Structure 1
Amino acid sequence: MITTDRFFHVNGQSRGFFEGWYFKHQVGTQVYALIPGISIDDTGEKHAFIQVISQASSHYFSFPAEELKVDEEAQQIVIGANLFSMSGVQIALKSDELTIEGSLRYHNLFPIQRSRYAPSIMGPFSYLSFMECYHGILSMAHTISGVVTWNGREIDFAGGKGYIEKDWGTSFPSAYLWVQCNQFTSDDIRFFFSAADIPFLGLAFLGLICVLQIGNKEYRFATYYGGKITDIMRNEDRLTIHLVQKNQQVTIEIATKTGHALQAPASGKMSRIIRESASTTMQLTVRENGREILSEKGNMAGFEEVGNLRGFHY
């Protein structure tokens, strides 16, 4: 079976499995992310969920598993009265702390490049069936239209930007870094970076995946292309990551704001707490043969930091 991010994996899973989608929406200076998914623990106990995160707070909505409906052909997820798809979302969530209602449409999605060698961001690892966690990027950026009422406040998303990714498998990595940004000084730049400790056939390695899109040109940095992290340094509240691939060097400097709590999977169960900053700032620099080809400041970047990556202390 080709394990790419173009397909759903929930069907047929009975225990120790999760699948989640990450829909990010930003407008003005605000970021709102919606994370629908399914959790099946070691005993087969399952439930659907929708997590919500903004700069101000995070929330977890739990649903009976039977309220999750997946339409593979339409690439559509329904949880209760909520619908998530590649063309937009419809939201109807209510708790004591948060009420959200409305619908958003997505336009002009920017997918990543695909090939037989790299059918997804995971490259040839996409073809393996025993990985702990699979990652997929569905849209590096797109424009948004629509209106959402958030705790009685109407938010018009016209002119906003979006991003979609997903994860599935048994557990999140024990240690990882994740950065995503599509709000740079130049309007046509989109960026994603992740590095994680990857269990593999009884051993483990540090895996790297990174995409930089400038207009219609894509740069891909990844373990499966020979890319590697050379240094990670912390200076007060800033984390600097250096990576190299052949004649190209990338420096990511990110402000490590304390994020809000999110629930994450461990053996399928959403029992682990991680923290995500929904909106922070970053600096991205790319050099080729020692010559600087890009230096851009990014705003409204998403950032997660969990543990220490193997081989580095920061």
Structure 2
Amino acid sequence: MVSLLRGFPYALQTPHSGYHWDGSDRRFFEGWYYRVTLPECGQTFAFMYSIEDPTGGKPHSGGAAQILGPDDQYLCRTFPDVERFWAWKDALGLGHWGTTDLTQSPTELHPDLFDQHIQQGYQGTATWHQGKLSDPGSGQTAQWQYEIQPVYGWGNTNRPQQSTAGWLSQFQIFEPGWQILMAHGLATGWIDWNGDRYSFTQAPAYSEKNWGGAFPQRWFWLNCNAFDNQPDLALTAGGGRRGVLWWMESVAMVGIHYQGKFYEFVPWNSEVHWEIHPWGYWQMQAQNAQFEVELVGTTTHPGTPLRAPTEQGLIFACRDTMKGELTLRLWENRLSGKQLLLEATSYLCGLEVGGPWEGVWRSQVE
């Protein structure tokens, strides 16, 4: 295994898969999200990595790794030394070394070498993900190694993959940027959580990222690729108030991959509406000339507070559960009327709200 990425089907690599930091000392963060869902036991593992102000020497400079584990349990480990972070500019590849006996500059390692020499840290690409974390305060530990077989990037199969926020994403207009890296994939390997080993073969996997020098005021997110009796279905939806040059705007989108086709509902091709409660209820509707979609996500779980990069650094700023209930309906608009193409449900949907939240957020009311 010369490289953990080079076997990746290039046609599925999305725009913005590489590291965005330009080397300047402006306020900057980049975050990555990997997830594996295990329908057999009804559990999910979500891994969140971040680097802030990588030039170093600033109040918020440093990295972190967070895991949302079984039953929404939480583990966090910080990596203060930005010099031990690495990432590829041209493709998805990153890692951060904590405790190690290596003195070389950090880089991708063969999995066996990583296992031998890295006591705290992680590395991930589009096709491989491994790491070791422990929290001395709580005594929690996690180790993981698994391969990833990408199925859907972000777009139609056998077509160029798309920027999640459209072609303007290549310019520093929207802050932060957001890119789904892999809407759906299949993971094979194992995760050890506090001594309990979860082994899996072709489990649903997902990855995304965000980056920028500014931060959304508030946001929401729904994500699922473990539907009941629908193994070839993946949903990512979300919205937020973000900066656009010198003003703020509220935007939202819905993206569905199903049976090789991509259904995209974004502000430039659809009407998108939402009603999101501070916790417990997420409802979205979107329609364009061809299709219409409705999402309803609910949860009775309390959720888990997670840290997120903010102007004040990495602080608790959002709440997540991986045990959300979701109903998805997709229609096609025909001359004879609306035709239901798909109705799907899940009890393993990721649901999130972030930022300061006051009352119900409806799209018609700013």
Q: Secondary structure at the match of 2:329?
A: strand
Stretches of structure 2 lacking an aligned partner (at least 5 in a row): 1-13, 98-117
Q: Distance in 1 between matches of 2:132 and 2:194?
A: 12
Contact 1:18/1:268 (CA < 8 Å) preserved in 2? no
1:59 to 2:75 alignment: yes
Q: 1:148 aligns with which of 191, 197, 209?
A: 191
Deviation by residue 1:4-36 (Cα, 9 ceiling, x = unmatched): 422211351423111010000111211001111
| Corresponding residue number in structure 1 for 2:88 | 71
CA distance change for structure 1 residues 79 and 178 in 2, over 3 Å: closer, same or farther?
same
Contact 1:15/1:268 (CA < 8 Å) preserved in 2? no
1:39 to 2:39 alignment: no
Q: 2:294 aligns with which of 220, 238, 251?
A: 251
Q: Distance in 2 between matches of 1:312 and 1:298?
A: 28
Q: Secondary structure at the match of 2:152?
A: coil
Stretches of structure 1 lacking an aligned partner (at least 5 in a row): none
| Corresponding residue number in structure 2 for 1:228 | 271
Q: 1:164 aligns with which of 197, 200, 207?
A: 207
Contact 2:266/2:272 (CA < 8 Å) preserved in 1? no
CA distance change for structure 1 residues 119 and 288 in 2, over 3 Å: closer, same or farther?
closer
Q: Distance in 2 between matches of 1:270 and 1:6?
A: 22
Q: TM-score, normalised by structure 2?
A: 0.77
CA distance change for structure 1 residues 309 and 61 in 2, over 3 Å: closer, same or farther?
same
More strand by share: 1
1:298 to 2:346 alignment: yes
| Corresponding residue number in structure 2 for 1:102 | 144
Q: 1:241 aligns with which of 281, 284, 287?
A: 284
CA distance change for structure 1 residues 312 and 57 in 2, over 3 Å: closer, same or farther?
farther
135-144 or 33-42: bigger deviation: 33-42
Q: Distance in 1 between matches of 2:276 and 2:321?
A: 19
Q: Secondary structure at the match of 2:72?
A: coil
What is the Cα deviation at residue 147 of structure 1? 1.8
Deviation by residue 1:43-81 (Cα, 9 ceiling, x = unmatched): 833101111112332222101211211233563212113
CA distance change for structure 1 residues 190 and 12 in 2, over 3 Å: closer, same or farther?
same
What letter is aligned with 1:258? P
What is the Cα deviation at residue 184 of structure 1? 1.3
Greater relative CO, 1 or 2 (CA 8 Å, sep 6+)? 1
Q: Secondary structure at the match of 1:66?
A: helix
| Corresponding residue number in structure 2 for 1:7 | 18
| Corresponding residue number in structure 1 for 2:328 | 284
Contact 2:187/2:200 (CA < 8 Å) preserved in 1? yes
CA distance change for structure 1 residues 247 and 70 in 2, over 3 Å: closer, same or farther?
closer
CA distance change for structure 1 residues 118 and 310 in 2, over 3 Å: closer, same or farther?
farther
Q: 2:319 aligns with which of 262, 267, 275?
A: 275
CA distance change for structure 1 residues 204 and 15 in 2, over 3 Å: closer, same or farther?
closer
Q: Secondary structure at the match of 1:5?
A: coil
| Corresponding residue number in structure 1 for 2:177 | 134
Q: Distance in 2 between matches of 1:52 and 1:88?
A: 17
Q: Distance in 2 between matches of 1:71 and 1:139?
A: 17
Q: Distance in 2 between matches of 1:288 and 1:164?
A: 28
102-111 or 67-76: bigger deviation: 67-76
What letter is aligned with 1:59? L
Q: Distance in 2 between matches of 1:312 and 1:175?
A: 16
CA distance change for structure 1 residues 47 and 273 in 2, over 3 Å: closer, same or farther?
same
Contact 1:48/1:67 (CA < 8 Å) preserved in 2? no
Q: Distance in 1 between matches of 2:160 and 2:200?
A: 37
What is the Cα deviation at residue 171 of structure 1? 3.8
What is the Cα deviation at residue 117 of structure 1? 10
Contact 1:283/1:298 (CA < 8 Å) preserved in 2? yes
What letter is aligned with 1:139? M
1:90 to 2:130 alignment: yes
Cα RMSD over matched residues? 2.8
What letter is aligned with 1:262? L
What is the Cα deviation at residue 301 of structure 1? 1.0
| Corresponding residue number in structure 2 for 1:24 | 35
CA distance change for structure 1 residues 68 and 300 in 2, over 3 Å: closer, same or farther?
same
| Corresponding residue number in structure 2 for 1:189 | 233
What is the Cα deviation at residue 241 of structure 1? 1.9
Q: Distance in 2 between matches of 1:199 and 1:11?
A: 20
Q: Distance in 2 between matches of 1:118 and 1:104?
A: 24
What is the Cα deviation at residue 237 of structure 1? 4.0
What is the Cα deviation at residue 104 of structure 1? 0.8
Q: Distance in 2 between matches of 1:165 and 1:213?
A: 15
Q: Distance in 2 between matches of 1:287 and 1:108?
A: 27
1:173 to 2:186 alignment: no
